[in-house]
Structure 1
Amino acid sequence: MGRQKQKHISGLTAAAALLLVTVTGCAGQADSGPNGKGPTAKPTAKRTAEPTRGAPGGPPAGAGTLPGLPGAAEARTRLAALKVAPQGSMTGYSRDKFPHWAEQGENCNTRETVLERDGTGVRRDSQCRAVSGNWLSVYDGKTVTKASGLDIDHMVPLANAWRSGANTWTQEKRKAFANDLTHPQLLAVSAVTNRSKGDQGPEEWQPPSRAYWCVYARAWTSVKATYGLTVTRAEKTELGTMLDTCGS
């Protein structure tokens, strides 16, 4: 190979190497944090509105920490057996007729027990109050780091239970229902989603995260079946629709 041709190739190689160093350096600078002390967060898209009914999104579906949760097939069988009846009256209803939160030993009550169960890295003080931890609110997929931002949701709300047959129960049975740690009746969720739910059934309110619909319907059906509570026709239909998101 001639001397001039070798010089030409060497020049091209040097230029290519210089270009590579320049590009790599720019890429590294783009990820640098303030004063070059580490990577910055990637730009994120603007937050959109909450998922609409039936829209995908939210955390992955899963049983999480809910105890006694039936599989989809069992839930469908139990749903088919639920008695359909119109909702009863709210006459005589009071949350005081469902005493909560009950003592669970070691200075802990039902609320603190659920917070411990549903969180990760939970630390308690001498009075069993959660002072730190992390919780995934499965209804909306948000992470909560302060216990004050959480409510303990009754899967089947107390007022809904009252209208579905709990008005005939003894006070002791209503207390057991309001503090049930054995069945999928209690879970820690963000206060905002719990309060938007109120005492509504699934025909009126569903978790913003469609990914949780399967678990929600299985849990709701299980609680109603366990306690012999009735469902409305619209409620039963919607539970079937939500169970369909479970797949086969």
Structure 2
Amino acid sequence: MVIKNLARAIGALTLALALAPLLPSPAAQAAPAAPAAPVAEVTTLADAVGLLKVTEENRSGYTASSFRHWNAGEDPTDGCDTRAEVLLAEAVVAPTVGSGCKLTGGRWTSYFDGQEVTDAGFLDVAHLVAPAEAWDSGASAWTAEQREAYANDQGSDVSLVAVTSRTNRQKADKDPADWMPPSPEVQCRYAGEWVATKLRWQLTADDRELEALKVYAEGPCEDAIVRYAPAV
């Protein structure tokens, strides 16, 4: 009997040792699952405009330093800040990346006016919805970390865009009631991406802004599609 019990114990121990590599460790069992990425919403421009909440704008307390940018970007190890990473992503012809992420050569097409640019120094990386406009539309209630995330948002390829400095100065912090890209070919795209950015960050619109967007949504841009994913 003793021999049989000993044999059983040895057999159980042998089986346990054989299965050990196949079983997850206690740490792995306890590790929480990674959060699922937000599902992208796809809708018409008219329906997307209808999702915007309307409030009065209030710029009280806003300063340019309210939104910290540029930070180390999506890849903190590449030596490039957010601005440089956007320029690299949007280049039609890739520039040479030198020491300190200095960009030389390359070619870009400025979104707002269609201009071809071969010197990154003549480009701005613009916030599609300017930080001041975001502040007016709800970002004044955010934490500093949320505003930094907004100012450096590379989670959406429409939040930050490479454009000529001249057109970015013209746009400044205006909304579509007061400014649209001078190139008619991109105005529907701009209207859709403006609304997508506001919905992504749960920002509001004022009455004039909403009416301007409706003109495009119900007129020349009635076939435009809006895609956005809520910011994490």
TM-score, normalised on structure 2? 0.73
Residue 69 (structure 1) shift: 9.1
Q: How many Å apart are 1:121 and its aligned residue?
A: 2.5
Residues of 2 paired with 1:185 and 1:164: CA distance? 15
Match 2:197 to one of 202, 223, 241: 223
Which of 164, 170, 189 pairs up with 1:190? 164
State the match for 1:241 in structure 2: 215
- Equivalent residue for 1:127? 100
Q: What is the number of residues matched between the two proteins? A: 179
For each residue in 1:23-45, what CA deviation from the matched residue of structure 2 results, as whole angstroms up to 9, or x when unmatched?
xxxxxxxxxxxxxxxxxxxxxxx
Residue 128 (structure 1) shift:
1.3
Distance 1:80 1:143 in 2: 35
Residues 126-174 of structure 1 deviation map (CA, whole Å, 9 limit, x = unaligned): 2112111111012111101111100011000000111111111000000
> 5+ unaligned residues in a row in structure 1: which ranges?
1-67
AA of the residue aligned to 1:97? S
Which residue does 1:61 correspond to in 2?
none
Cα gap change, 1:217/1:70 in structure 2, threshold over 3 Å: closer, same or farther?
A: farther
Structure 2, unaligned runs of 5 or more: 1-38, 224-232
2:77 maps to 1:103: no
Kept in 2, the 8 Å contact 1:136–1:143? The answer is: yes
Q: 2:85 aligns with which of 92, 113, 124?
A: 113
The amino acid of 1:148's aligned partner reads G
For the residue of structure 2 that corresponds to 1:152, the secondary structure is strand
Whether the 8 Å CA contact 1:122–1:131 is kept in 2: the answer is yes
Q: Report the alpha carbon displacement of residue 206 of structure 1 after superposing the two structures with TM.
A: 0.4
1:65-95 deviation digits (Å, cap 9, x = unpaired): xxx9976x4433221011111111x221112
Return the alpha-carbon distance in structure 2 between the equivalents of residues 218 and 169 of structure 1: 24
Please say which structure displays the higher CA radius of gyration.
1
| Map of 2:29 onto structure 1 | none
Asked if structure 2 preserves the Cα contact closer than 8 Å seen for 1:134 and 1:143, the reply is: yes
Contact 1:123 1:133 in 2 (8 A): yes
Matched residues in 1 for 2:192 and 2:174: separation? 17
Does residue 137 in structure 1 map to residue 110 in structure 2?
Answer: yes
SS at match of 1:236: helix
**One of 66, 75, 79 as aligned partner of 2:49:** 79
Percent of aligned pairs with the same amino acid: 36
CA change 1:177–1:246 in 2 (3 A) is same
Q: Secondary structure at the match of 2:94?
A: strand
